[in-house]
Chains A and B, each alone.
Chain A
Amino acid sequence: MTFINYAAREINCKIVYYGPGLCGKTTNLQFVYDRTNPAAKGKLISLATETDRTLFFDFLPLDLGTVRGFKTRFHLYTVPGQVFYDASRKLILKGVDGVVFVADSQAARMEANVESIRNLDKNLKEQGYDIAVIPYVLQFNKRDLPTAVQTDEMYRELNIKGEPTFEATATTGVGVFDTLKAVARQVLLELKKR
């Protein structure tokens, strides 16, 4: 649900990073935070456990600049990836404008990726969204690992509607901004259709 404030000439959009536990959602946000000009970002908030596992969400507000005289502000959220935090994941999807699915490239995590996409589909449906329609981008993270599965195989397994797909290594930032840009583009183009 985009929030358009004509009084302040601002558009606010919500983007959620989804994916299985330890796939690198928080690392994506951390990299965006580290590489963004201080004037354009707010505080990165992480509601995490003592061992740095996301407990509720991470949140990063970003000002991207102006489009057609409107300040565009993106609110980036991550969900907790661990299976048993499903109730929290549902809450964070409320009012989402675009989703980035971060897949873990390691062979051992393929099943977790598939399960997490299925979970995303179900939770979006519960909020009244359709994964086939909502702005959606796929990221193959951890491409630097030796156990990474071939990308064409991952594409076959995980790509659901020909969505833009990016290879990434979030720890060094490879592919992080390309992913963000692709989802932001879809969200903004979606505004055009309204």
Chain B
Amino acid sequence: MTAPDLVLYDEEFQRIRESLQRLRHDANANVVFLVDKNGQQIAAVGDLQALDTTSLASLTAGNVAATDGLARLIGEKEFSILFHEGEKDNIHISIVAQRVILVVIFDERSSLGLVRLRVRRATSELDKIFEDITKKVEREKESLQAEFESPFAEITDEDIDRLFSE
């Protein structure tokens, strides 16, 4: 199959969260979150109570996918930044490490210029983290046969039946 599974370990997850927290603080944003291109949320920080982050993740990915399609139609590789301006809240969307989407939601307490500036710095941090993740996953894969025991190696039919038992 094409893209390898995205695997996230605790250590990198914490680094991602720290990076997002820092971005949220420095850009004066309400919410910062990271989604993979397939619409699955990786991490989110900020004022999340009133927000349906699962839907937001899926729609963001749909939005980026549609925009990628548009880009290709006119001969561009991608549009690396999308910006949606609302009356109160705005959404800034950018691509990180070619495979994940960084979303910043902010209001009048911040500005597009500040968000763009801070996103740029956060992007290089996140690029590095995702590079480390890829390396780690490859290492794990190599040692897979040797010792690493996947928690899913033992999945049974009964496990799956139980999921639908309600």
**A interface, CB within 8 angstroms of B:** 1-8, 11-12, 14, 37, 42-43, 45, 47, 56-57, 59, 61, 64-65, 67-70, 72, 75, 87-88, 90-92, 94-95, 127-129, 133-134, 177, 181, 184-185, 188-189, 191-192, 194
In B1-51, the 8 Å CB interface with A consists of 1-10, 12-14, 36-40, 42
For B36, the chain A residues whose CB sits under 8 A away are 1, 3, 95
B40 and A191: CB pair below 8 A? no
Given contacts A7-B12, A43-B55, 11 further A-B pairs with CB under 8 A are A4-B5, A45-B55, A59-B39, A59-B62, A61-B55, A61-B58, A68-B154, A75-B58, A188-B160, A189-B155, A194-B5
User: Which residue in B5, B55, B162 is a CB contact (below 8 Å) of A1?
Assistant: B5
Residues of B within 8 A of A (CB-CB), count: 42
Q: Is the CB of B10 within 8 A of A59?
A: no
Contact pick for B163, options A65, A75, A192, CB 8 Å? A65
Contacts of B131 in A (CB 8 A): none
Whether B39 lies near A194 (C-beta < 8 A) is no
Contacts of B1 in A (CB 8 A): 1, 128-129, 133-134
Q: Is the CB of B166 within 8 A of A37?
A: yes
Contact B151 A69 (CB under 8 A): yes
B69 adjacent to A87 (CB under 8 Å): yes
Given A47-B62, A59-B58, A3-B5 contact (CB < 8 Å): yes
Q: List 10 A-B contacts (CB under 8 A).
A: A7-B9, A14-B39, A43-B52, A59-B55, A68-B151, A91-B62, A94-B37, A95-B36, A128-B2, A194-B152
Task: Output the nearest chain B residue to A90 by Cβ-Cβ distance.
Answer: B69
A93 to chain B, nearest CB (A): 10
Q: Is residue B76 within 8 Å, beta carbon to beta carbon, of the partner chain? A: no
Q: CB distance A42 to B52 under 8 Å? A: yes
Contact status A61-B163, CB under 8 Å:
no
Which chain B residues border A11 with CB–CB below 8 Å? 152
A190, chain B: closest CB distance, angstroms: 9
User: B13 CB to closest chain A CB, in angstroms?
Assistant: 3
Decide: A185 near B150, CB < 8 A? Known: A91-B66, A129-B2. Answer: no
Interface assignment of B87: CB less than 8 Å from any CB of chain A:
no
Judged by a CB distance under 8 angstroms, whether B65 is at the interface is: yes
Q: Are B157 and A185 in contact (CB under 8 A)?
A: yes
In this complex, the member of B4, B55, B160 whose beta carbon has the largest number of chain A beta carbons within 10 angstroms is B160
Q: How far is the CB of A35 from chain B (nearest CB, A)?
A: 10
List the A side residues contacting B69 at CB < 8 Å.
87-88, 90-91
Residues of A within 8 A of B59 (CB): 45, 59
Please tell me if B147 contacts chain A, counting CB pairs below 8 Å.
no
Q: Quote the shortest CB–CB distance from B30 to chain A (angstroms).
A: 20
Q: Is the CB–CB distance between B151 and A70 below 8 Å? A: yes
**CB of B153 within 8 Å of the partner chain:** yes
Q: How far is the CA of A75 from the CA of B58 in the complex (A)?
A: 9
B155, B157, B166: which has the most chain A beta carbons within 10 Å?
Answer: B155
Q: What are the 8 tightest A-B residue pairs by CB atom distance, in nearest-first order?
A: A128-B2, A95-B38, A7-B13, A191-B152, A91-B65, A7-B10, A64-B163, A42-B54
Nearest Cβ in chain B — how far from A39, in angstroms?
11
The 0/1 profile, CB within 8 Å of A marked 1, for residues 59-102 of chain B is: 10010011011000000000000000000000000000000000
